[in-house]
Amino acid sequence: MNDDFSECITGTQTWTAQEIRQQPESWLKSLKNIDRQREDLDKFLSSVFSNRGLKIILTGAGTSAFIGDIISPWLSCQTGKNFVSVPTTDLVTNPADYLHEEQPTLLVSFARSGNSPESVAAVNLASQQVKNCHHLVITCNEAGALYQNATASDKAYALLMPAETHDRGFAMTSSITTMMASCLAVFSPDVINGTSFHDVAERCEKIIAACGDFTDAVFGDMSFKRIVYLGCGGLQGVARESALKVLELTAGKLAAFYDSPTGFRHGPKSLVDNNTLVVMFISSDPYTRLYDLDLLTELRRDKQALRVIAISASPDPEVIAGPHILLPPSRDFLDIEQAFCFLIYAQIFALSESLKAGITPDTPSASGTVNRVVKGVIIHPWIKAEA
């Protein structure tokens, strides 16, 4: 095991390592808090849900936006409601594409700090443009503008995450997963709740405890220059966040890409060479998994990549035929639950690569041109186009 990495993830030398490690406990703490607020939450939601044609927009900037990518397909299917994922960075530049005056809208804003210019502007734009607009703010910072504004509004509900999830490290780790779990519990409490999520927390605790085993045995001391993460459906959102995490924590020294297994064949597969590491998140859905296993077999047969690694809950012959990681034993997980396990692996891998590159994970951008809370954004007043 890499001694520096082992000490970092098991000790408290960096905020990033501590914030990765604290996640299972933070998830359960937040879900208990939601249980305590259930009556008030349901009162707020029942009023919002009474609007016919309601559109629920899950939004945020950067990593916070990827929460919507991961969970919106499952929430739409599970609840029968119209969930869509739109980043605040798109809402502020093209509000007319997503915000419609006569369509009742619930804007669900995810934010670590709650002070990103686009996040604050998106809330204001939605309130200005939509006649019947409500807000659910899910944030990690009690002092942030989003939380403060929401608590002062009679058309908003503010849900605060445990204080420790306001990550001090540059990259979002415990903040994204805790906000993700909390949103799932808000809208689908029968499936995601403090009781059912214990299994997810326990499985992820085992992953964290065994971190050195997979970083050495599976990834090894390889010399790769790029990494590709692949996942289907909501797991493509996980792949996107995984790629961003390694890009952020290595300060761009390791190029990172993402796609779906089926989409990857349509051009992006061209980037695979003997300097490329490919990581596939294998779906737990029997039908979807067929497509994952097809590409996994194809990539290994091509012998173009430096290594093709499968991360899976089940030991399919195609999975164990090459480098792989099997999730610790547990009950059968839905993909939406498995997403948390995959994110833990990706975070630890990104931290490991950061340390190997001699970069300080908490402040990877030595130039200061990339910031924990984005700077330099000018929010322009909304100008309605002439009909």
The pLDDT profile of the chain, 387 residues, written as one tens digit per residue, is 344 434 445 444 789 999 999 999 999 999 999 999 999 999 999 999 999 999 999 999 999 999 999 999 999 999 999 999 999 999 999 999 999 999 999 999 999 999 988 899 999 999 999 999 999 999 999 999 999 999 999 999 999 999 999 999 989 999 999 999 999 999 999 999 999 999 999 999 999 998 754 455 455 566 789 999 999 999 999 999 999 999 999 999 999 999 999 999 999 999 999 999 999 999 999 999 999 999 999 999 999 999 999 999 999 999 999 999 999 999 999 999 999 999 999 999 999 899 888 888 887 765 555 554 566 677 788 777 665
Task: State the DSSP H helix or E strand holding residue 117, giving kind and residue range, or none if neither.
Answer: helix 117-129
Long-range contacts for 310-314 (Cβ within 8 Å, ≥24 apart)?
310/280, 310/282, 311/279, 311/280, 311/281, 311/282, 311/342, 311/345, 312/282, 313/282, 313/284, 313/338, 314/282, 314/284, 314/289
| pTM, rounded to two decimals | 0.92
Q: How many CA atoms lie within 13 A of 342 on its CB side?
A: 33
Two tokens at 75?
A: 């929430």
Q: Which domains does the chain have, with CATH numbers?
A: 3-187 (3.40.50.10490), 198-356 (3.40.50.10490)
Q: What is the DSSP letter of 218?
A: I
